[in-house]
């Protein structure tokens, strides 16, 4: 009995010694040897946790990668490619287009201010502050974020804010306009097309067909302005490139655009017909928000404060007039 008691006691003491010896060592080393998958992953709050969105306020997503100026006009400006931030937590995207649309971030804020001064109310403006090589907010999530969870979160926030603005506009105004703002550079052959390209999801080769051929309900239903064409008293071709079209209204203010009455199609040259945002947030697949992708050249528009202020003023006039002619009421009385 005595021996066995001694044995038990000594083994307890021994164990305690081991524990007490290992404890500090374990704590010391644990800083470095904890396997990666046991590090607590950052938990993102639910999208919309920062709602409701008041028209005089600005909201930011995680790390301020996404910026949302909440508005009270039936207009949304989306600016996916003007960002400059290059945080180290997001590796560079490894495939896709990386070109930044120079100055579209600054220019779009001036468009916002110009609209506010003109209408006494603000458009909804969603801007991506990340450089395009970190996130492409005008692509599906796979190409946009390339499986980085911080980039993916920013992508979700970007589209959540747009979705929220669309719902608000539909409930308050019935219908509205979504403008996806971009910039195009010189063509690969060096030629710089100084016209603004307006994208309605109609490929350049289709725009190069005749009015008679194009002016069908089938074609109208394939565009990102389907709802606007439905509400307009003008025919589809008139809304697309007649004298009441967005392009012709821009032409009349000397910001020449394709398509318009003067420039019905790109005539085989380079032209962008609208990307992911125009498709997702326009009215082709339903809803009452119609989308136009606006690709502005740098010379004469995105050059400096003076050129983009003039452009902002013209664009505001055109948006006002286009909305009135096709939706049938003034943006703001």
CA-to-CA dists, residue 239 to 226, 245, 291, angstroms: 10, 5, 13
- Residue closer to Zn ion by CB (options 139, 241) is 139
Complete DSSP assignment for 299-312: IIIISSHHHHHHHH
Taking the least distance from each CB to Zn ion, the nearer of 227 and 296 is: 296
Question: Whole-number minimum distance, CB 184 to Zn ion, in Å?
Answer: 8
- Cβ(297)–Cβ(195) under 8 Å? yes
User: CA-CA distance, 180 to 293, in Å (whole number)?
Assistant: 5
- 110, 53 in Cβ contact below 8 A? no
3-state class (DSSP) for residue 266: coil
Residue 225 or residue 294: which is nearer to Zn ion going by CB? 294
Q: How far is the CB of 33 from Zn ion (least distance, A)?
A: 46
Neighbours of 56 (CB within 10 A): 9
Q: Using CB under 5 A as the criterion, which residues of the chain lie in contact with Zn ion when the complex forms?
A: 81, 101, 182
CB of 136 to Zn ion, least distance (A): 9
Least distance CB 240 / Zn ion (angstroms): 22
84 or 167: CB nearest Zn ion: 84
Residue number, nearest CB to Zn ion: 182
CB of 183 to Zn ion, least distance (A): 6
Are 108 and 83 a contacting pair, CB within 8 Å? no
Distance CA 24, CA 21 (A): 7
Closer of 78 and 220 to Zn ion (Cβ): 78
């Amino acid at each position: 009995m005595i021996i066995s008691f001694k044995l038990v006691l000594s083994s307890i003491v021994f164990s305690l010694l081991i524990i007490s010896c290992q404890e500090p060592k374990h704590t010391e080393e644990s800083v470095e040897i904890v396997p990666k998958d046991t590090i607590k992953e950052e938990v993102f709050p639910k999208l919309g946790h920062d709602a409701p969105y008041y028209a005089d306020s600005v909201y930011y997503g995680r790390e301020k990668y996404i910026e949302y100026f909440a508005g009270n006009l039936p207009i949304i400006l989306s600016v996916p490619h003007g960002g400059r931030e290059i945080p180290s937590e997001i590796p560079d995207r490894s495939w896709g287009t990386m070109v930044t649309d120079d100055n579209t971030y600054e220019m779009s804020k001036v468009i916002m201010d110009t609209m506010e001064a003109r209408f006494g109310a603000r458009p909804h403006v969603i801007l991506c502050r990340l450089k395009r090589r970190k996130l492409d907010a005008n692509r599906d999530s796979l190409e946009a974020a390339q499986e980085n969870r911080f980039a993916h979160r920013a992508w979700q926030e970007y589209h959540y804010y747009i979705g929220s603005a669309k719902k608000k506009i539909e409930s308050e105004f019935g219908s509205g306009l979504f403008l996806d703002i971009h910039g195009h550079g010189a063509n690969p052959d060096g030629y710089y097309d100084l016209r603004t390209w307006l994208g309605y999801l109609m490929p350049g080769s289709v725009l190069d067909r005749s009015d008679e051929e194009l002016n069908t309900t089938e074609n109208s239903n394939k565009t990102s302005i389907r709802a606007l064409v439905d509400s307009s008293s003008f025919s589809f071709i008139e809304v697309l490139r007649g004298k009441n079209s967005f392009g012709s209204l821009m032409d009349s203010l000397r910001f020449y655009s394709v398509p318009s009455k003067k420039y019905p199609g790109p005539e085989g040259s380079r032209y962008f017909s609208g990307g992911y945002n125009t498709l997702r947030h326009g009215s082709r697949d339903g809803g009452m928000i119609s989308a136009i992708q606006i690709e502005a050249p740098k010379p004469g528009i995105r050059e400096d404060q003076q050129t983009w202020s003039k452009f902002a003023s013209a664009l505001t006039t055109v948006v006002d007039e286009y909305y009135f002619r096709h939706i049938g009421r003034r943006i703001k009385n």
